Amino acid sequence: MQSIRRAHRILRALADSPDGLTVTQLSAELQLPPSTVHRLLAVLQEEQFVSRPDGKSWCYLGPESLRIGLAARRPRVTSSLRAAEVVSELADTFGQGALLVELRGRRAESVLQCGLADWAGGYAGDLMPFHAVAAARALLIDMDRAEVMRLLSEYEFLPRRARTPGTVTELLQRVDTVRRRGHETVYGEFVPAVWEFAAPVRGGSGQVLAGLAVVWHEARTTAEQAVRISEQVARAAREISQEFGYAC
């Protein structure tokens, strides 16, 4: 317990010092022996809670500390009544299904659905596979390779369709495409002959809160229809984002 408390004190000290602290400064501020600080920093650095970019004495909060901090500040999209209205409006507009997916721990979970009783179970609370569902893939749009690898370290790529990514490398290639376009369009990767059009919903600091998608059961969709649906989903995602303070 003592080591955990001391590690927490180191992290709090670094959180209060965005310009970083040296081992000597940490030792003096926390009144701990330098050897103790060195030992704790080694563990924290290995787990990416602390970063020492020059490999020397200056210490900063690492990417894992940032990830946890963002998660703690990330609001639930379901707290917005407008989000539920937008999902319903999308389903009504296209006469198809619409859903919102959030990252819950290491899982992508459907939190709002409308018109999807015959697709993927069709119930809020359903888990959405990252490699096969556009809305779940949209959650990864801002993550770098290392973050995606950590998130999917225990993920099982269950076989779906021939065009569905089957490995982390293949999924990362798709995420790169999503990142460049700002939205995702897939066809027949989760359910045969079904299109999915998805875009990220963002919070006030720009972090991804959810993936919004329309599920379109029309195999003979024209290029013009696909563009129109993608644009409307992107607009709807921006509208929800504005509810959470994101300046689109």
Single out the residue of 195, 192, 191, 248 nearest to residue 221, CA to CA.
195
Residue 128 maps to a domain: yes
pLDDT of residue 72: 56
β-bridge partners, 49: none
**Of 44, 71, 98, which residue constitutes the final position of a domain?**
71
Residue 196 maps to a domain: yes
Q: What is the mean pLDDT of residues 67-93?
A: 80
Distance separating the N- and C-terminal Cα atoms of the chain:
45
Tens digits of per-residue pLDDT, 160-195? 888 899 999 999 999 998 888 888 988 888 888 889
Q: How far is Cα 50 from Cα 42, in angstroms, rounded to an integer?
A: 9
CATH of the domain at 46: 1.10.10.10
pLDDT of residue 100: 94
Residue 248 maps to a domain: no
In the predicted structure, residue 31 carries a pLDDT above the cut 70: yes
Share of the chain above pLDDT 90, in %: 29
More confident residue, 17 or 128: 128
Tens digits of per-residue pLDDT, 111-143? 988 887 655 544 456 889 999 999 999 999 988
Cα-to-chain-centroid distance, residue 2: 33
pTM score of the predicted model: 0.71
pLDDT of residue 232: 94
Model confidence band, residue 242 (pLDDT cutoffs 50, 70, 90): very high
Is there a single domain that holds both residue 53 and residue 99?
A: no
Is residue 15 within 8 Å of 51, Cβ to Cβ? Answer: no
pLDDT of residue 126: 84
Q: How far is Cα 87 from Cα 102, in angstroms, rounded to an integer?
A: 14
User: What is the radius of gyration, based on Cα positions, of the chain?
Assistant: 21
Residue 25 maps to a domain: yes
CATH of the domain at 177: 3.30.450.40
Please name the amino acid found at residue 166.
Answer: G
pLDDT of residue 85: 92
Is there a single domain that holds both residue 148 and residue 212?
A: yes
The secondary structure of residue 78, as a DSSP letter, is: G
Residue 192 maps to a domain: yes
Q: What is the helix (H) or strand (E) element at residue 184, kind and residue range?
A: strand 184-187
**Of 25, 43, 71, which residue constitutes the final position of a domain?**
71
Q: How far is Cα 23 from Cα 201, in angstroms, rounded to an integer?
A: 40
Mean pLDDT of the chain: 86
Instruction: List the structure tokens of 141.
Output: 């749009």
Print the domain residue range for 101.
74-243
pLDDT of residue 118: 54
Q: What is the mean pLDDT of residues 3-14?
A: 87
Q: How far is Cα 100 from Cα 113, in angstroms, rounded to an integer?
A: 7
Q: What is the mean pLDDT of residues 94-105?
A: 88
**Of 28, 45, 71, which residue constitutes the final position of a domain?**
71
Q: How far is Cα 174 from Cα 132, in angstroms, rounded to an integer?
A: 11
pLDDT of residue 131: 93
| Domain count for the chain | 2
pLDDT of residue 55: 63
